[in-house]
Amino acid sequence: MAATKTVRTKDRSIVFENHLDSTFEYWRRFGGVPPLKGKRVLDFGCGTGGMVQRLIDNGAAEVVGVDISEYAVAYGAERLAPYGDRVKMYAADIRTLDVGSFDVIVSQNTLEHVMPLGEVTRAVADRAKPGADMYFGFSPLWYSPFGHHGYPITRLPWHHLIFGDKAVLDAMEATSGKRYADAFDAGFNKATPDDFEAMFKTLPADIVSLRRNIVTGGWKQTVASIFGPIADLPPFRKYMTVSMYAHLRKR
């Protein structure tokens, strides 16, 4: 979602409903929902669990949601309790969590926050069964026009690069009351498209597809078709890659 449309809310039921809606676009960008019937699925960075519900509704036998936010996971566990044993939600570090292995791994809008990126994504991939499909779709990347994730809500592209981390930290403090030391402390890993691509190549997986700036219709499609060729040029790639969609298959 474009940062200019971001509405900051702490209401987890609204966050959940928004997440539920956003899953349609997520899967559209991967070309559709993969076969899930009877599969054991991990949602890495599950937040309040909108995707977890969608995966169950799409036929998964069991879905495990993992996120480091106790606040988000607590809501998801309660909200998804009616699914019984088919849903398990963990507020935990995937590197030390014993959750078995998975037929499918999904991760939405999370990898731009994960630190240390290589170590954590390796732990995620280690939990995929041989031949398992992994879908990592995430935005907005830090150096993209609204990589500040709506802190502050502004129409000025690259506001955070022009005014620096302090502008982001000030906006976050105004919203949450919490002061972070720097952008890393606030949960932004600042990885570039090249960093992500290099990381994916280190995983024990084949890259089925790795696409950037995927949009499926509307005005964004028009913008993407105009700026797409420029965004591909090495000097602009870092600043104009908003999203990445990686489909990997575990070796």
Ligand X SMILES: C[S@@+](CC[C@H](N)C(=O)[O-])C[C@H]1O[C@@H](n2cnc3c(N)ncnc32)[C@H](O)[C@@H]1O
Does residue number 110 form part of the binding site for ligand X (CB under 6 A)?
yes
Does residue number 1 form part of the binding site for ligand X (CB under 6 A)?
no
Choices 46-54, 167-175, 214-222, 225-233; region in contact with ligand X by CB under 6 A: 46-54
Residue 199 Cβ, how far from ligand X at the closest point, in Å?
Answer: 14
Amino acid at 90: Y
State the DSSP H helix or E strand holding residue 209, giving kind and residue range, or none if neither: strand 205-212
Give me the torsion for CA of 142, 108, 235, 233, rounded to 10°: -160
Does residue number 94 form part of the binding site for ligand X (CB under 6 A)?
yes
CA separation for the pair 78, 242 (Å, rounded): 33
The residue among 64, 44, 29, 53 whose CA lies nearest residue 134 is: 44
Residue 64 Cβ, how far from ligand X at the closest point, in Å?
Answer: 12
Does residue number 139 form part of the binding site for ligand X (CB under 6 A)?
no
Does residue number 150 form part of the binding site for ligand X (CB under 6 A)?
no
Residue 246 Cβ, how far from ligand X at the closest point, in Å?
Answer: 15
Which residue lies nearer to ligand X by CB, 33 or 228? 33
**Positions in 63-92 near ligand X (CB under 6 A):** 66-69, 72
Structure tokens at 108: 């939405």
Question: If 0-12 CB within 10 Å is exposed, 13-18 middle and 19+ buried, where does residue 122 land?
Answer: middle
Count, in order, helices (H) and strands (E) of the chain: 9, 7
Does residue number 47 form part of the binding site for ligand X (CB under 6 A)?
yes
Which parts of this chain interact with ligand X (CB under 6 A)? 19, 45-47, 51, 66-69, 72, 94, 108-110, 113-114, 120
